[in-house]
Amino acid sequence: MSDPIKRVKGFADLFEPESTAFTFLENTARRVFGLYGYTELRTPILERTELFARGIGDETDVVQKEMYTFPDRGGRSLTMRPEATAGVMRSFIEANLANSQPVSKFFTYGPMFRYEQPQKGRLRQFHQLNCECLGPVEPGADAEIITMLMHFLDELGIEDLCVEINSLGDRNCRPAYRQKLLDWARQLPADQLCPDCRRRMNTNPLRLLDCKIPACQSLTQDAPVMIDNICPECREHFDAVCALLDKNGVPWKLNPRMVRGLDYYMRTTFEVVSNKIGSQGAVTGGGRYDGLIRDLGGPDVPGIGFASGMERLAMLLPEVKLQRPDFYIAVVEDMAMNCAFELSRNLRRAGFKGEMSFSAKKMKHQMKVAARLNARKCLILGSLEVENQMVQIKDMDSGEQIAAPLADIVNFFE
């Protein structure tokens, strides 16, 4: 006998209650996001590698280290999506939606793939909920999407969350800040920086502020920050977003070191942080990415969005209560099997959840099955019940047992 095949490291099987938690997340997202005019979009898991290199940025950790990339049989370089936004932008461009509607709002959910060290709440196959609002440049769009996000998290029953917000400026003011930060960073003792930060000095110095290594955080604690160097237009935009959040009762705090991990972010950036899941406490993050659609070959359409890690959200959910089966049909004699099938069909078509035995077994065994399933009622069928067109109904909580006509069983349950 050959050895069983095991799952790949960093990939997980989701049984109940984990799978039920994911279903709850998806259904709540569909309901809440729909209130704000978002419609569901499903994009492919595989995309051309160039999409992520151009969209996310060649020098990001995602593109440099983490993507699952391979040539297909036609020699094309394909990548399993490491994030959703670039794929949504590609879809938006390809469908030519900019010419048909001034504002496009999409939500997506599904698996993403990154080759990194598995950690609590983040595996190599992980799942995200994404929202993207394309078209408006006004600060009201920023405030609305953050407000919607907090509405969603509130509907999930997740508490003790904090919105952290920052501005990354735009293409007019960021280059000068980048140079200012680089000039400051070059005075640091390079041998005390981690290898990633030494590389970022020449590729993306803003990521120096995002390093999670304590030694690097200590060295860069006095670094100049973007929020103190943004242009008047970006300052006006950021102040308007914060004022709208205040008016809508959304608590927030400034995090001037927030830079996010992807190159396309500009102006408003935000994260929702929990103190219940350790040092990697961000459960949701996003921001504005004006210019991304243009960089991917489309029209110059602004946008803002966020991504929520579903594994991390599931860790924060209150205990998910599984729906109890309404019935279990115990068949104690073979000749009652046809009757049991008909009975289960009628109950299910009436909207009641339950299971039945597929073979006649002793009553003691079937009571154990009904108890293990946590069924509300156990319906008992034997030859006597079939002959009299009756069914024995045992309440699994109280132990009370009564007889009822088979013809009235749906009315009994209702």
Helix (H) or strand (E) holding 127: strand 125-134
**Contact between 267 and 238 (Cβ < 8 Å):** yes
- Whether domain 18-173+230-316 has CATH 3.30.1330.10: the reply is no
Q: Which of 127, 113, 149 is nearest to 29 (CA)?
A: 149
Beta pairing, strands 161-167 & 266-274: antiparallel
pLDDT of residue 277: 62
| Residue 407 DSSP class | G
pLDDT of residue 186: 81
**Contact between 105 and 37 (Cβ < 8 Å):** yes
Q: How far apart are CA 180 and CA 225, in angstroms?
A: 10
Q: For residue 171, give the amino acid letter.
A: R
pTM of the model: 0.84
DSSP string, 191-252: GGS-HHHHHHHHH-GGGGGG---HHHHHHTTT---GGGS--HHHHHHHHHHHHHHHHTT--E
pLDDT of residue 303: 94
pLDDT of residue 163: 92
pLDDT of residue 280: 56
Encoded tokens for 150: 């907090």
First to last CA, the chain: 51
pLDDT of residue 106: 96
**Contact between 200 and 139 (Cβ < 8 Å):** no
pLDDT of residue 19: 87
pLDDT of residue 201: 74
Q: Which residues of the chain have pLDDT under 50?
A: none
Q: Tell me the CA distances in angstroms from 17 to 1, 129, 157, 316, one per residue in order.
A: 32, 19, 17, 14
131 three-state secondary structure: strand
For residue range 18-45, list pLDDT tens digits in order.
888 999 999 999 999 999 999 999 999 9
Q: What angle do CA 93, 99, 105 make, to 5 degrees?
A: 65
pLDDT of residue 188: 77
| Domain positions in the chain | 18-173+230-316, 327-413
For residue range 60-96, list pLDDT tens digits in order.
667 777 888 999 999 999 999 998 999 999 999 999 9
pLDDT of residue 148: 96
pLDDT of residue 61: 65
Q: Which of 398, 358, 357, 362 is nearest to 379 (CA)?
A: 357
**Contact between 273 and 281 (Cβ < 8 Å):** yes
Q: Tell me the CA distances in angstroms from 142 to 145, 240, 258, 375, one per residue in order.
A: 5, 10, 17, 47
Structurally, what CATH architecture does the domain formed by 327-413 represent? 3-Layer(aba) Sandwich (3.40)
